């Protein structure tokens, strides 16, 4: 007779799924995340993909991970280290040795710890037998063999049976944290609707994993995390790239324009193309170009023809788009360029996150070529910043670079769904056909932007191209003084955007001992760290920048009130160098990390304490 284990209530927990790139850890983590979101937990995720496309199976470079942080309180990061690690092989265990807290639970697929498996991971002996993980709660589960036993009469081939072992592991974790299985069952039925034998097999294995966890004595208790208290509304779990795509769709609707995306596939930006391509029923046009240059040029052509033109890429692709972006700038066409940043230079760390493209976005074009730069700061608000980037481009007739990053693009969190009627209208700067004596490069007094005429509009034809324009007429001009004037006017147009954006906000007391400055996707870790230190009565505050060029008008006032300032970013110091150039009289400290990983709250708190105690 079995005794039902006690259920312990937790405020929050961090779980990491890790295995070979073919073990389905991203799918497993996503299913656990979606189920937790439906239960009302707040959460944040961090998928960690292997950089090598075909790393040798069972090796450390081939490890794929998915970390999720769920709680009944506000969650802003995927967690520094995990409370529970699911390791499907020795390589996954080795790669994540420092990612699990002391005393945490490690569920290992013991079937994958044979001598050959250990050798491929670089182990001479099993780490489970040499005290390497002393102090941890190790659960040795024969996941592969139990999956084979579960499906021995399924009629599936051996490879398909073994491929189902991730569902067995998910069943174990579902029991451990009292998660229902219905959401995953529905997912499987939809995903494999034409293959009922696959549906039945995966559902059976999922339940067998759950029952296995319930009957073994290794787990002293199961756990539950109650729903988080959040403002009322309709929520859904959303990834940053998906939110970006939806933000563009909303912007096109509010601007009453057709949306066109010209894109070339590149990690980690490709999912924006994938998402938008699903919505042809909304009149959205997507074009997978032959290269990065064709992608941006097609988006520029769509913009010239009157659509909302978008192009997406990551760091190396932005470098290739540089010349065409300069063309969009000098022709003063509205265009949004999304850069989902990754570790560089060159191919660099294609599946890892970094903030290393800020200087490229600001200055990576020939000549005097200013464009608007904005940056998203959470997976959910990628929606808001895609919308805002579109508004700025259309209402100011200029290209906008939207910076996200791999952490934001692939990460997920609950998003309070926005109703279209609650979003502001976007008013593209266009001629209405009644203007007299139209001059293509005459400028609006408040914005400094020119009104666009859709090509072919009678009496509004004009010349367009990459050569310098004569002021007002747009005719080709080599006049030195005119060139200087046009460079100044184009720069002033971007500077005037500061009159149409909100002032910079500060979280905490402006007269603080230490002001933490961040930009873009570092927000969650910086906010969590500063909030905790504030609760400890430390005089610390945070300001996180989303408007990069131009900066909000009150930026200097915020900086002048703080005793010390530290700028934190995932690069060698690009934003702090930009701020030093803008405000040479202000002293900025800096804290940087270039490991392809987000900050941790532990390292941030230690550095902030050191600055406060100096």
Mean pLDDT score, 411-434: 94
Q: Other CB atoms closer than 10 Å to residue 58's CB: what's the count? A: 21
Q: Looking at residue 1, what is its pLDDT?
A: 35
In residues, how long is the chain?
A: 614
- 494 phi, psi to nearest 5 deg: -70, -40
Rg of the chain taking only CA atoms, in angstroms: 27
Cα–Cα dist 577/469, whole Å: 33
Cα–Cα dist 150/72, whole Å: 35
With pLDDT > 70 as the criterion, what percentage of the chain qualifies?
A: 99
The two structure tokens encoding residue 15: 């779980």
Mean pLDDT score, 522-542: 98
Mean pLDDT score, 162-186: 97
pLDDT in tens, 220-233: 789 999 999 988 99
CATH entry 3.40.50.920 includes domain 514-613:
yes
pLDDT in tens, 377-389: 999 999 999 999 9
Q: Residue 89 CA to chain centroid, in angstroms?
A: 28
CA distances from 501 to 391, 396, 549 (A): 11, 12, 11
Can you spell out the DSSP letters for 11-74?
SEEEEEEEEETTS-HHHHHHHHHHHHHHTT-EEEEEEE--SSTTPPTTSGGGEEEEEEEEESS-
The two structure tokens encoding residue 596: 């392809």
What is the edge-to-edge ordering of all strands in the sheet holding 100-109?
Answer: 42-48, 63-71, 12-20, 82-87, 100-109, 137-141
Q: Looking at residue 3, what is its pLDDT?
A: 46
Closest among 291, 295, 284 to 262, alpha carbons compared: 295
Q: Other CB atoms closer than 10 Å to residue 191's CB: what's the count? A: 13
Strands 235-239 and 412-416: antiparallel
Cα–Cα dist 95/48, whole Å: 11
| pTM: predicted TM-score of the whole model, two decimal places | 0.95
CA distances from 413 to 14, 78, 380, 387, 456 (A): 14, 10, 6, 19, 45
- Decide if 572 contacts 524 (C-beta within 8 A): no
The two structure tokens encoding residue 403: 């910076």
The pLDDT mean for the chain works out to 96
Can you spell out the DSSP letters for 117-185?
HHHHTT-SS-TTTTTTTTTSEEEEE-HHHHHHHHTTTS---HHHHHHTHHHHHHHHHHHHTT--SHHHH
The number of helices, as runs of H, and strands, as runs of E, in the chain is 21, 21
Mean pLDDT score, 27-38: 97
End-to-end CA distance of the chain: 62
Q: Who wins on pLDDT, 231 or 28?
A: 28
DSSP H/E element including 262? strand 259-263
Q: How confident is the model at residue 461 (pLDDT cuts 50, 70, 90)?
A: confident
Q: Does residue 538 surpass a pLDDT of 90? A: yes
Q: How confident is the model at residue 54 (pLDDT cuts 50, 70, 90)?
A: confident
Q: Looking at residue 99, what is its pLDDT?
A: 92
Tokens 């529970």 found at? 84
pLDDT in tens, 58-113: 999 999 999 999 999 999 999 999 999 999 999 999 999 999 999 999 999 999 99
The CATH classification number of 7-224 equals 3.40.920.10
Q: Residue 180 CA to chain centroid, in angstroms?
A: 28
- Decide if 150 contacts 191 (C-beta within 8 A): no
Domain parsing of the chain, residue ranges? 7-224, 236-422, 514-613
Domain 236-422 has what CATH class? alpha beta
Q: Does residue 484 surpass a pLDDT of 90? A: yes
Q: Looking at residue 4, what is its pLDDT?
A: 54
Q: Other CB atoms closer than 10 Å to residue 34's CB: what's the count? A: 17
pLDDT in tens, 310-334: 999 999 999 999 999 999 999 999 9
Cα–Cα dist 600/265, whole Å: 30
> 96 has which bridge partners?
none
Cα–Cα dist 583/585, whole Å: 6
Residue 437 gets which letter from DSSP? S
Q: How confident is the model at residue 370 (pLDDT cuts 50, 70, 90)?
A: very high
In this chain, the answer to whether the domains covering 236-422 and 514-613 adopt an identical fold is yes
Cα–Cα dist 4/477, whole Å: 84
Residue 315 gets which letter from DSSP? H
Q: How confident is the model at residue 354 (pLDDT cuts 50, 70, 90)?
A: very high
Q: Looking at residue 2, what is its pLDDT?
A: 43
DSSP SS3 for 299? helix
């Amino acid at each position: 007779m079995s005794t039902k284990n006690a259920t312990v209530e937790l405020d929050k927990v961090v779980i990491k799924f890790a295995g070979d790139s073919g073990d389905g850890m991203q799918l497993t983590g996503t299913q656990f995340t979606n189920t937790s979101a439906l239960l009302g937990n707040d959460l944040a995720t961090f998928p960690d993909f292997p950089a090598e496309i075909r790393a040798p199976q069972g090796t450390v470079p081939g490890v794929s991970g998915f970390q999720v942080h769920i709680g009944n309180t506000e969650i802003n990061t995927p967690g520094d280290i995990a409370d529970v690690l699911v390791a499907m092989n020795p390589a996954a265990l080795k790669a994540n040795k420092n990612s699990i807290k002391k005393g945490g639970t490690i569920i290992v697929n013991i079937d994958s710890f044979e001598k050959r498996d250990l050798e491929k991971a670089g182990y001479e002996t099993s780490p489970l037998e040499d005290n390497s993980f002393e102090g941890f709660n190790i659960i040795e589960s024969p996941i592969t063999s139990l999956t084979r036993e579960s499906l021995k009469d399924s009629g599936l081939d051996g490879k398909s049976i073994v491929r189902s072992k991730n569902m067995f592991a998910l069943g174990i974790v579902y029991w451990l944290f009292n998660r229902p299985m219905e959401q995953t069952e529905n997912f499987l039925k939809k995903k494999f609707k034409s293959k009922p034998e696959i549906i039945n097999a995966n559902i059976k294995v999922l339940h067998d994993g759950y029952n296995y966890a319930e009957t073994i004595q290794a787990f002293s208790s199961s756990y539950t995390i109650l729903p988080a208290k959040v403002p009322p509304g309709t929520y859904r779990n959303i990834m940053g790239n998906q939110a970006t795509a939806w933000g563009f769709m909303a912007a096109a609707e509010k601007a009453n324009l057709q949306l066109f995306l010209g894109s070339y596939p590149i990690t980690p930006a490709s999912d924006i193309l994938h998402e938008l391509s699903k919505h042809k029923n909304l009149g959205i046009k997507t074009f997978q170009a032959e290269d990065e240059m064709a992608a941006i040029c097609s988006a520029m052509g769509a913009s010239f023809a009157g659509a909302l033109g978008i192009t997406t890429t990551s760091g190396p692709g932005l470098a290739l788009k540089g010349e065409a972006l300069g063309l969009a700038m000098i022709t003063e066409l509205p265009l949004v360029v999304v850069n989902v940043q990754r570790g560089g230079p060159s191919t660099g760390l294609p599946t890892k996150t970094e903030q290393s493209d800020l200087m490229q976005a600001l200055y990576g074009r020939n000549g005097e070529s200013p464009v608007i730069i904005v940056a998203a700061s959470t997976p959910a608000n990628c929606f808001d910043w895609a919308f805002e980037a579109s508004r700025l481009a259309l209402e100011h007739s200029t290209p906008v670079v939207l910076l996200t990053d791999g952490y934001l693009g692939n990460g997920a969190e609950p998003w309070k769904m926005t109703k279209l009627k609650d979003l502001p209208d976007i008013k593209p700067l266009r001629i209405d056909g009644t203007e007299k004596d139209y001059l293509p490069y005459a400028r609006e007094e408040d914005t400094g932007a020119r009104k666009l005429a859709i090509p072919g509009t009678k009496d509004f034809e004009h010349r367009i191209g990459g050569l310098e324009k004569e002021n007002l007429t747009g005719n080709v001009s080599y006049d030195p003084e005119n060139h200087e004037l046009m460079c100044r006017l184009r720069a002033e147009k971007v500077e005037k955007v500061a009159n149409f954006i909100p002032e910079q906000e500060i979280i905490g007391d402006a007269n603080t001992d230490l002001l933490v400055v961040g930009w873009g996707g570092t927000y969650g870790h910086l906010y969590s760290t500063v909030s905790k230190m504030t609760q400890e009565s430390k005089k610390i505050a945070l300001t996180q920048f989303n408007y990069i060029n131009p900066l909000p008008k009150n930026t200097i006032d915020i900086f002048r009130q703080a005793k010390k300032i530290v700028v934190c970013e995932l690069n060698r110091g690009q934003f702090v160098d930009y701020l030093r150039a803008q405000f040479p009289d202000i002293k900025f400290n800096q804290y940087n990390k270039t490991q392809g990983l987000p900050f941790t709250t532990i390292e941030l708190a230690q550095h902030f304490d050191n600055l406060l105690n100096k």
